[in-house]
């Protein structure tokens, strides 16, 4: 068997591993196994690549490869292992961005290493596609990271003429792409690269923080396509298949995620453009009074309730309050109160965020209710205890057409007999809009860090 | 430069189209709990660009190509290793649970340590994973 055939076979094994990984990751039962199968495929492919003459023939280059891999792994492992659960989405964004960057660099290096004029037109097109999509993904992920990490505001950033400016840059890139194909000029290519980075950044600016997970999923699909383009450039079936798998499944996943939020993808990507929504579109909440209670009052309310719904949100994640939440649930359950958690699919900063956190605190599965089931129980629930959630219980999603979150399914905490908000302040949630539920006569506020408030409630319930 | 003996442009396009269908069909109904882990897992899979970056750096001549290639390998490794490790951490919630709740904390800690090296083994240099 020739080396080329052996390589093809090994890479085929890796490809099968990736397909099985995607299949496994879409079912709860096999998700973890799926990830391990994918990682194994990756190890096999990378290990075999070291046996290719292209990789080992120049000793100096081989050493550089090994050093680069060691550096990359030394940076990635601590970052990925030590990052808090709350910061997971940013990590995915950044790991996705660097993949896009790598794909763009591969295309760029291929372009400058080959004598320009000898390249077939389709080769130049492949390279340009890899650079364009890879750069957009890189810059877009970087901005998404900055938004999620709160290095910049999570609110949509809009400015006059935004649409025209974006369209202008898009057209300029298209024109320069044509120029590059005709002239094969490296200078023009570098300009394309820079403009693509700009396009990636300004494409993400108007997208609100709450929609960022969907955006990251889309950029993930983009990176997949950039990798596939690099595969065409390098004549590598492995890269084409793996990249395309991610591009296609990522597109589908993006659609599923936006459906879970009751939105369409174009709505998420472009709704902030020329949007007429202003703060005044919602009911006027200026000068309305809120009722705040003491932990003792609320403790009594909870202890003598029959059914309590805990509605967790990002505040729970930030305060790392999942263990305390479970303590409270246990204390209530010990008094015979029926407790369940109402889980909004996109509560927190990523879909499934709350499930991950609560599972970490060993909350029993049967207490976790998906939004639709929770909403069936909500009218018979005595107290909805909203822990650091805001947008996911905001009735404006049902009642205020024109609100940025209008149409998003919410947990109907407003239907419970009493509502208790544990919140740090009256500040609006991630979507940046006011929540009229805070002013509802049924609502009691308990201000403070979610973990402190929950500890006080545990003590109050035990004392009640 | 060829990574594998290629079947020509038309062959690659065929493979591309078929892979697109497979990618679309292979994930069917994904429960919302798994949206983020699936995103993260597929994110790790496009880290296969690492193989491409290795070939590019292996063949690089001159400072510009060496620098770009080196940077590309570092970035691709971040993608692969970070992607798989983060996904594994997200999926820890799906690990088999003990029947009883009280001893589970210690049991979970034990599984964590056992899972460390496996999950950190995205590449050579992995396996040093320490669960925080």
> Mind listing the pLDDT tens digit for each residue in A343-402?
988 787 777 778 878 887 888 878 888 888 889 999 999 999 999 888 889 888 888 877
Q: Is B5's CB within 8 Å of A26's CB?
A: no
Co-location of A324 and A231 in the same domain: no
Percent of chain A with pLDDT over 90: 45
Facing A55 at nearest CB: one of B16, B45, B55: B55
Please, is B75 exposed, middle or buried when counting C-beta atoms within 10 Å of its C-beta (0-12, 13-18, 19+)? Answer: buried
**Which residues of chain B make contact with A350, given a CB cutoff of 8 A?**
35-36
Kindly state whether residue A371 falls inside one of the protein's structural domains.
yes
Q: Give the nearest chain B residue to A84 (CA atoms).
A: B132
Which member of A391, A414, A434, A440 is catalytic? A391
Q: Tell me the pLDDT band of B96, cut-offs 50, 70 and 90.
A: low
Report ipTM for this prediction: 0.73
Kindly state whether residue A137 falls inside one of the protein's structural domains.
yes
Nearest alpha carbon to residue B39 among A86, A255, A449, A444 = A255
B14 in contact with chain A, both atoms CB, cutoff 8 A: no
Co-location of A308 and A398 in the same domain: yes
- Tell me what pLDDT residue A116 has: 55
A407: left (phi over 0), alpha (psi -120 to 50) or beta: left
More confident residue, A213 or B73: B73
Co-location of A154 and A39 in the same domain: yes
Task: Give the domain-ending residue among A236, A270, A304.
Answer: A270
User: Which CATH number goes with the domain that contains A368?
Assistant: 3.40.50.1220
- Tell me what pLDDT residue B7 has: 60
The pTM score is: 0.73
Co-location of A266 and A293 in the same domain: no
A438 alpha-carbon distance from chain centroid: 27
The contacts of residue B16 (CB under 8 Å, 6+ apart) are: A228, A232, A240, A244
B99 in contact with chain A, both atoms CB, cutoff 8 A: no
Co-location of A406 and A441 in the same domain: yes
Q: Is A248's CB within 8 Å of B24's CB?
A: yes
Co-location of A86 and A235 in the same domain: yes
Instruction: Write down the domain spans for chain B.
Output: 33-120
Co-location of A64 and A192 in the same domain: yes
- Helix and strand tally (H, E) in chain B? 6, 0
Co-location of A237 and A367 in the same domain: no
Domain span at residue A210 reads: 3-270
Q: Tell me the pLDDT band of B126, cut-offs 50, 70 and 90.
A: very low
Q: Assess whether pLDDT exceeds 70 at residue A215.
A: yes
Percent of chain A with pLDDT over 70: 93
Co-location of A336 and A294 in the same domain: yes
Mean pLDDT of A183-187: 85
Q: How many domains does chain A have?
A: 2
Torsion angle (degrees, nearest 10) of CA A381, A367, A448, A313? -100
Kindly state whether residue A382 falls inside one of the protein's structural domains.
yes
Co-location of A221 and A332 in the same domain: no
**Which residues of chain B make contact with A341, given a CB cutoff of 8 A?**
none
Kindly state whether residue A278 falls inside one of the protein's structural domains.
no
More confident residue, A59 or A84: A59
Co-location of A245 and A373 in the same domain: no
Kindly state whether residue A275 falls inside one of the protein's structural domains.
no
More confident residue, A359 or A103: A103
A51 alpha-carbon distance from chain centroid: 37
Kindly state whether residue A283 falls inside one of the protein's structural domains.
no
- Nearest-CA distance from A322 to chain B in Å? 14
- Helix and strand tally (H, E) in chain A? 18, 6
From the candidates B14, B23, B70, which should be mutated to test the interface with A, based on the most A CB atoms within 10 A?
B23
- Rg value, chain A, Cα: 26
Contact (CB, 8 A) for B17 and A330 = no
């Amino acid at each position: 068997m020739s080396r080329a055939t052996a390589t093809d076979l090994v890479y085929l094994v890796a490809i099968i591993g990736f397909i099985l990984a995607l299949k496994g990751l879409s079912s709860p039962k096999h998700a973890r196994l799926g990830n391990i199968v994918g990682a194994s495929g990756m190890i096999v492919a990378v290990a075999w690549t070291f046996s290719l003459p292209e990789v080992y023939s120049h000793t100096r280059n081989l050493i550089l490869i090994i050093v680069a891999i060691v550096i990359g792994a030394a940076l990635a492992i601590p970052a990925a292992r030590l990052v808090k659960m709350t910061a997971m989405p940013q990590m995915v964004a950044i790991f996705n961005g660097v993949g896009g960057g790598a794909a763009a660099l591969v295309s760029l290096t291929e372009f400058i290493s080959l004598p320009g004029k000898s390249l077939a037109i389709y080769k130049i097109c492949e390279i340009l596609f890899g650079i364009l999509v890879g750069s957009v993904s890189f810059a877009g992920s970087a901005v998404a990271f900055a938004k999620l990490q709160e290095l910049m505001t999570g609110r949509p950033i809009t400015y006059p003429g935004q649409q025209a400016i974006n369209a202008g840059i898009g057209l300029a890139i298209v024109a320069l792409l044509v120029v590059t194909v005709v002239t094969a000029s490296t200078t023009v290519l570098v300009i394309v690269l820079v403009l693509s980075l700009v396009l990636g950044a300004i494409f993400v600016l108007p997208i609100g923080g709450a929609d960022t997970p969907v955006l990251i999923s889309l950029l993930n699909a983009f990176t997949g396509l950039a990798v596939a383009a690099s595969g065409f450039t390098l004549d590598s079936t492995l890269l084409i298949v793996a990249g395309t798998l991610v591009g296609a499944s990522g597109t589908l996943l993006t659609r599923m995620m936006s459906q879970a939020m009751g939105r369409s993808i174009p709505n998420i990507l472009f709704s902030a453009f020329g949007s007429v929504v202003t703060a005044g579109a919602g009911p006027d909440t200026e000068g309305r009074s809120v009722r705040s209670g003491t932990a003792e009052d609320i403790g009594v309310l909870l202890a003598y309730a029959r059914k309590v719904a805990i509605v967790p949100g990002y505040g729970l994640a930030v305060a790392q309050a999942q263990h305390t939440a479970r303590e409270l649930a246990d204390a209530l359950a010990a008094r015979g109160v029926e407790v369940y958690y109402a889980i909004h699919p996109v509560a927190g900063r990523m879909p499934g965020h709350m499930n991950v956190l609560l599972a970490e605190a060993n909350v029993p599965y049967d207490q976790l209710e998906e939004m639709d089931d929770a909403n069936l129980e909500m009218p018979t629930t005595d107290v909805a205890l909203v822990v650091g959630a805001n947008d996911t219980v905001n009735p404006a999603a049902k009642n205020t057409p024109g609100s940025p979150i209008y149409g998003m399914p919410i947990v109907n905490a407003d239907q419970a007999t009493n509502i208790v908000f544990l919140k740090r302040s009256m500040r609006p949630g991630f979507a940046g809009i006011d929540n009229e539920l805070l002013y509802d006569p049924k609502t009691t506020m308990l201000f403070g860090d979610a973990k402190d408030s929950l500890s006080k409630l545990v003590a109050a319930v035990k004392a009640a | 430069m060829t990574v594998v003996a290629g079947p020509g442009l038309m062959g690659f396009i065929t493979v591309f189209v078929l892979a697109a269908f497979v990618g679309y069909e292979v994930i069917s109904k994904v429960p919302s709990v798994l949206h983020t882990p699936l995103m993260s897992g597929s994110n790790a899979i496009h880290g296969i660009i690492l193989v491409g970056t290795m070939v590019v750096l292996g063949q690089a001549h001159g400072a510009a190509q060496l620098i770009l290639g080196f940077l590309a390998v570092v970035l691709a490794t971040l993608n692969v290793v970070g992607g798989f490790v983060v996904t594994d951490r997200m999926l820890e919630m799906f690990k088999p649970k003990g029947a009883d709740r009280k001893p589970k904390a210690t049991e979970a800690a034990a599984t964590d340590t056992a899972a460390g090296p496996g999950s950190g083994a995205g590449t050579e240099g992995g396996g040093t994973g320490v669960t925080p």
